[in-house]
Amino acid sequence: MHKFRTAVWKWVEKFSGKVDVEPSRMPRRLIAPDETYVKVNGLEYWVYAAIDVGGNEILSMRVYPSRNMLVTGLFISDVLNYCHGKSMFAVDGAPWLTEALKELRLGYNIESLR
């Protein structure tokens, strides 16, 4: 785990001046959430992140031991803490994302990321 912590620390140091990592609650037009799989010391995790597309701002980044609609709903709820008013979400069509957004009654567009 030590190597992983060091890598994360170096990433934070490298980008801390370039990326706003302390978002405030404000109107946000379009949010792009996504997730990726990582394996650390033989353990599997899912890293979720959401970006305010218009402001190029990271709204939230969380690590979970699984990926499903419940976890995704928790993550989206956290992202909403930084949003004022109605926001649209741009997603890649993953069922755990679309179902969580439907459950939360949030608007979304499916957009190809490739």
Which is it for strands 83-84 and 26-27: parallel, antiparallel or unpaired? parallel
Q: Which residue ranges form the domains of the chain, and what is each CATH number?
A: 21-110 (3.30.420.10)
Q: Which helix (H) or strand (E) holds 93?
A: none
pTM across the whole model? 0.78
CA 97 to chain centre: 11
pLDDT digit string (tens) for 43-94? 888 989 999 998 888 899 888 999 999 999 999 999 999 999 989 999 998 9
